[in-house]
Structure 1
Amino acid sequence: MNILVVCDVFGDNTNGTMVAQNNLINSMRKRGHHVSILCADQNSMGQPDVFVCPNLNVGPFNSYVEKEGVTLPKPKRDIIEKSMEGIDVVHIMQPLLLGPKAASIAYEKNIAITAGFHTQAENVSAQFKLMGVEAVNKTLYKYFWRALYRYCDAIHYPTQFIRNIFEENIQYHTNGYVISNGVLPIFRKNPLAQRPKEWEGKYLIVFSGRLTDEKNQVQLMRAILLSKHKDKIQLVLAGDGPLKEKLIKMGESLPNKPYINFFTRPQVVDLMSEADLYVHAAVADLESISCLEAICCGALPLLSDSPKAAVSEYSRNTHCVFKCGDDEDLARHIDWFIEHPEESAQIKTLYNDFYKNYNFEHCMDRMEQMIKDAYRYHTEGHKKPIDLGE
């Protein structure tokens, strides 16, 4: 099949959506499909099968956008139409600027459309310090529906959790497929991994993910300050993002200076293989591939119970879940794990087969089948929500 993947944000694997879209593109090509890309990444200009729209100039906000590590696309109809020549299915990654425009044009051209659900309302509202305002989040979900998802023959949800949230907000049962983005086989415990000498004798706590408000690294830092064992804790934040400087400044108050940096995949594997505890404190997270990767590498997880995050569903023991927003509760959980090494080791064994639920190739097989199903639905004349007046 000829598949066009539309990426509002495209480039290196610096966040979960980029990881998911790059994995999807590579996997569909591996399965024999011809995959083209529509994006606004100027560094990809001239590459085969890549169609590049210009960047959107937002004037005084350009520096803020750059700080977020993204470029905003300026949808150009002629480029979008060119990218769709000979295409069987258009797959859209996000409901931002480029995705909705591509969906409306694909609909006009009678091309089958699928889309992934990789953006929570909170990912957008957090940029304006409105993450906790439910009316704003509900409005955003309704916008996502009107702008993109009602055009789709099929929708990919990485978790049942986010499907439930979206369908509850739009009051509509979608033609959805719940398929994990999957965890690459590289993410397995490395028995040869060694921690740096400066961390020897420390209790190593790790958190992997974008450094943003919704990932909530600040709560983890505050909780470590409250820990009875703060002097022996070494914190590592694996990631990059707009809060990096703030977190570095906060880290100056900890007895042991946190290590905050972006890690390559092999480095993440070694880090998680050596971690004593992996803490995922996110307020909002629709699947959290970084959390899944950590657990698959053998890290013992301590997970946020936020109703906006899917991660608590990965828990296999009550000790592995803490109250999101409650610094003292998180500190108590950290202290319990430090003070109970034998019980911690026993709990860790509960996750030995965890990786089997997120077999990457199986997940990509299901993604391929979803795309094929959508093409069949479309060619058979099945009605889309927009055709039904939804």
Structure 2
Amino acid sequence: MKIVLVIDQFDDANNGTTISARRFASALKAHGNEVRVIATGKPADYKYAVRQMRFFPIVEHLITSQGMRLAIPNKHVFEKAAAWADVVHFMMPSPLAIMGLRHVEKIGIPHTAAFHCQPENITFTLHMGNSRRINDFVYGKFRDTFFNRFTHIHCPSNMIANQLREHGYTAQLHVISNGISPEYAYGKRSKEEWMEGFFNILMVGRYAGEKRQDVLIEAAAKCCHAREIQVILPGKGPLEKKYRRLAEKLPNPVIMGFYEPARLIEILHMADLYVHTSDAEIEAMSCMEAFACGLVPVIA
């Protein structure tokens, strides 16, 4: 089967949706399918390239710091992709996808969708993540402008499938885990020098409002064993400076920064405890990766 994935960003694996899309494409190809993507970036044999949207610097930083880019809709690219494809699969309800959906509906190509972008991922960035009214509004917008025009939707977890049912989504929902890479497997390593003598607590995720790394920082600071605790926060995102300032109250400097998978796995194999503080997750892949590596997780 010839399958086109529509996702604004595919090349840089720095957010959960892109990581899921890349693994999905690899698995589909391993099962004998042909896969191409419509995404930003340089043209490639597997990609129909579209231009990236540009915004005012503050907005641009807010979007890219979340590990995302948005694409400019391009009708001609969709015409070319649709002429090749047997089915088009949409990864998120972006302007690119909304325009593309109108095109594939018009010419009658089979199309499916996935629900990877939880409204809270947007509303927490705008400091309104705890407002049920605002989140319900975004669920409704997603539903009416995009998802209720599909007959089949992939949901990575039962939780998000239940949310869609509660919010009036009418498609048939298919709950299939995004899964994790096989390289995240049980293992133990001797601690490196910078970890020795400490109880090393890890939380992996973007430095974004819904991930709530601040909870772990505050808890470690208040703990009677604070001097024995080393907080490690692999990731990147718009709240890095805020969290570094907050972590100044810790007896031991917080460890922050982005790690490639191979290095992250080494750290997972050396740490003592994983704490997942996030307030909003469709499926917490970083937590799954941690307990697959043998860490006990404490989950919000």
Kindly provide the CA deviation profile for residues 313-364 of structure 1, in whole angstroms up to 9, marking residues without a partner as x: xxxxxxxxxxxxxxxxxxxxxxxxxxxxxxxxxxxxxxxxxxxxxxxxxxxx
Shift of 1:128: 1.5
Query: How many Å separate the matches in 2 of 1:67 and 1:238?
Result: 14
1:130-149 equivalences in 2 (<5 Å)? 130-149=128-147
> How does the TM-score come out when normalised to structure 2?
0.95
- Residue in structure 1 matched with residue 10 of structure 2 by the alignment: 10
Shift of 1:48: 0.8
- Residue in structure 2 matched with residue 187 of structure 1 by the alignment: 184
Extract structure 1 runs of 4+ deviating beyond 6 A: none
Query: How many Å separate the matches in 2 of 1:182 and 1:292?
Result: 8
Q: Is the contact between residue 189 and residue 269 of structure 1 (CA under 8 Å) also seen in structure 2?
A: no
SS at match of 1:252: helix
- 1:174 correspondence with 2:171: yes
Q: Which of 272, 295, 298 is the aligned partner of 2:294?
A: 298
Query: How many Å separate the matches in 1 of 2:156 and 2:66?
Result: 23
Query: How many Å separate the matches in 2 of 1:267 and 1:212?
Result: 22
1:204-283 equivalences in 2 (<5 Å)? 204-283=200-279
Q: Is the contact between residue 189 and residue 270 of structure 1 (CA under 8 Å) also seen in structure 2?
A: no
Q: Is the contact between residue 148 and residue 169 of structure 2 (CA under 8 Å) also seen in structure 1?
A: no
Decide which structure has greater helix share.
Answer: 1
- Residue in structure 1 matched with residue 54 of structure 2 by the alignment: 57
Q: Is the contact between residue 112 and residue 152 of structure 1 (CA under 8 Å) also seen in structure 2?
A: no
- Residue in structure 1 matched with residue 24 of structure 2 by the alignment: 24
Shift of 1:190: 2.0
1:140-159 equivalences in 2 (<5 Å)? 140-159=138-157
- Residue in structure 2 matched with residue 77 of structure 1 by the alignment: 75
- Residue in structure 1 matched with residue 39 of structure 2 by the alignment: 39
Kindly provide the CA deviation profile for residues 138-168 of structure 1, in whole angstroms up to 9, marking residues without a partner as x: 1111111122212223110010101101220
- Residue in structure 2 matched with residue 314 of structure 1 by the alignment: none
Query: How many Å separate the matches in 1 of 2:68 and 2:182?
Result: 28
SS at match of 1:219: helix
Query: How many Å separate the matches in 1 of 2:203 and 2:23?
Result: 22
Amino acid at match of 1:282: S
Larger Rg: 1
Equivalent pairs counted in the alignment come to 299
Deviates more, 1:46-55 or 1:109-118: 46-55
Amino acid at match of 1:15: N
Sequence identity (%): 29
Amino acid at match of 2:171: T
Q: Which 5+ residue runs of structure 1 have no aligned equivalent?
A: 305-390
Query: How many Å separate the matches in 1 of 2:66 and 2:205?
Result: 14
Query: How many Å separate the matches in 2 of 1:224 and 1:290?
Result: 20
Q: Is the contact between residue 7 and residue 90 of structure 2 (CA under 8 Å) also seen in structure 1?
A: yes
> How does the TM-score come out when normalised to structure 1?
0.74
Shift of 1:282: 0.3
Q: Which 5+ residue runs of structure 2 have no aligned equivalent?
A: none
